[in-house]
């Protein structure tokens, strides 16, 4: 009688490295929970150490239209991590060198800040936060890399980098951006008025038209809506596009789009003031019409997204 050969048991499948924690082995899941506990302890200590600048950042966000988005950034970053959770690599690989580099960068920023104060520097509120908040973010990223490892850090690189929008612009950079947007909007709106056949005389950012004079003030630069549009462009590129070049094109396109949006607002108000009623310059359309023109600027923005997605598929 012929005996059947004994079958060898199937080899144990490799332990999964990706996807949610529910697919991990109990040992790996316990390790992840332990590392998360260490990170939360570190984060609590870090929040206490940076309590004063963080409270100042919260006050700035509540009192400034330009930085009203700041308090939303941590929530958006957490959502980005959750949205991409299936792509996270949960296998731990030490990242001591990366963590130390980030920590040293944060310490260097704090050192520069303290040295500048000792040398007699009297910073404005934004200038102070523009050094202290990046120091906080560097230490936060260092703790994340140390506790969760290299792979998970790079998987979550975009949500972590997105926190940079919590940093207020230093005064000189904010003034430079306002001046750039102010003069660029004035240039484009002037040519739009000329192309429409309007009789207009320009001197700097001042326009003189029949019966009306308009000045494109720094408050009319549209820096807040341009910043919001830039953040929207980054998020749209991350969610809807997959290749680097289309993402870069979409993100950078918001700069001319923001200038065109502001120029369209100036052009529309000028036409209404000349041909309808000069009092339109004191109306709510002038002082509170920004969201309307922002919504109009989203039409070419979504059209560009549609074209880039179609180009990626082709």
CA–CA dist 237, 242 (Å, integer): 8
CA–CA dist 209, 206 (Å, integer): 10
Give pLDDT, residue 21: 45
In tens, the pLDDT along 158-206 reads 999 999 999 999 989 999 999 999 899 999 999 998 898 888 888 888 8
Closest CA to 204 of 225, 182, 224, 220: 182
3 state SS of 42: helix
In tens, the pLDDT along 53-66 reads 999 999 999 998 88
Q: Is the pTM of this model over 0.85?
A: no
Phi, psi of 243 (to 5 degrees): -100, 150
Other Cβ atoms within 10 Å of 92 Cβ, number: 17
Question: Which DSSP category does 205 fall into?
Answer: T
20 pLDDT more than 60: no
210 pLDDT more than 90: no
CA–CA dist 241, 250 (Å, integer): 9
In tens, the pLDDT along 108-147 reads 999 999 999 998 888 888 899 999 999 999 999 999 999 9
Give pLDDT, residue 73: 94
Closest CA to 190 of 176, 201, 177, 174: 201
């Amino acid at each position: 009688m012929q005996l059947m050969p004994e079958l060898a048991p199937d080899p144990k499948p490799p332990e999964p490295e990706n996807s949610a924690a529910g697919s991990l082995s109990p040992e790996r899941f316990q390790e992840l929970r332990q590392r998360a506990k260490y990170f939360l302890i570190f984060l609590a200590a870090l929040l206490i150490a940076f309590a004063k600048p963080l409270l100042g950042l919260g006050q700035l966000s509540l009192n400034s239209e330009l930085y009203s988005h700041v308090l939303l950034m941590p929530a958006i970053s957490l959502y980005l991590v959750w949205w991409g959770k299936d792509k996270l690599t949960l296998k731990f690989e030490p990242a001591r060198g990366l963590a130390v580099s980030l920590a040293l960068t944060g310490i260097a920023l704090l050192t520069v800040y303290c040295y500048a104060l000792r040398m007699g520097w009297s910073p404005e509120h934004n200038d102070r936060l523009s050094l202290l908040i990046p120091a906080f973010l560097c230490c936060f990223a260092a703790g994340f890399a140390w506790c969760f490892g290299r792979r998970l850090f790079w998987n979550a690189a975009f949500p972590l980098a997105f926190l940079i929008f919590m940093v207020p612009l230093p005064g000189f950079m904010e003034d430079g951006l306002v001046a750039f947007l102010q003069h660029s909007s004035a240039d484009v709106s002037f040519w739009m008025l000329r192309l429409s056949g309007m009789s207009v005389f320009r001197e700097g950012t001042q326009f003189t038209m029949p019966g009306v004079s308009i000045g494109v003030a720094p408050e009319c630069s549209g820096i807040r809506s341009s910043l919001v549009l830039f953040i929207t462009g980054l998020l749209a590129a991350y969610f809807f596009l997959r290749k680097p070049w289309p993402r870069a094109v979409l993100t950078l396109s918001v700069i001319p789009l923001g200038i065109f949006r502001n120029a369209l607002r100036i052009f529309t108000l000028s036409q209404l003031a000349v041909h309808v009623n000069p009092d339109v310059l004191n109306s709510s359309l002038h002082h509170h019409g920004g969201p309307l023109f922002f919504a109009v600027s989203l039409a070419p923005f979504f059209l560009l997204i549609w074209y880039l997605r179609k180009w990626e598929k082709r």
